[in-house]
Amino acid sequence: MLSAGRILAAAGLGLSTIAFAPVAADATPQAGLVITHIKCNEQEDNTGADDAYLVVDGSTIWGPVQMTTGDSKDVQNVAVPQGKVLTLMEGDWPDDDDNLGAKTINGPGDYTFSDDGSNYVVTVANG
């Protein structure tokens, strides 16, 4: 009796795991946009590397990563929701971080951030 009960319990767990899978799939964003690359044509800091990071809705979605003029880095397909504002920031200490620009992400393409004397190009692709 005990062993039969355990088998039933195990089967029940297996079924509930399967039942939850479609729920998790529904919760993931629609086939969306991803950041695939960032290029630094002109860094913001005068000395040392920039500490570049990308922000959406107040949350850092990538970085900080050290970048200097001429650097070109692949990004591991970081999701960025369509229609959201993507902000490129540059970390400083002890003074405040610098806002290098904000762009509304409307689709795949190259987005240039060029505030504060910098020039970065962020590439967005279909995920």
Contact 75, 87 (CB under 8 A): no
- Return d(Cα 32, Cα 127) in angstroms, integer: 5
Q: Find the shortest distance in angstroms from Cβ 92 to Ca ion.
A: 4
Residue 50 vs 124, nearer CB to Ca ion: 50
Q: Is 5 helix (H, G, I), strand (E, B) or coil?
A: helix
90 makes contact with Ca ion (CB under 5 A): yes
Q: Find the shortest distance in angstroms from Cβ 102 to Ca ion.
A: 16
124 makes contact with Ca ion (CB under 5 A): no
Site for Ca ion in 12-51 (CB under 5 A): 44-45, 51
Phi-psi region of 58 (alpha: psi -120 to 50; beta: other; left: phi over 0): left
- Other C-beta atoms closer than 10 Å to the C-beta of 70 total 10
Selected from 4, 27, 94, 95, the binder of Ca ion by CB under 5 A is 95
Binding site for Ca ion (CB under 5 A): 44-45, 51, 90, 92, 95, 98
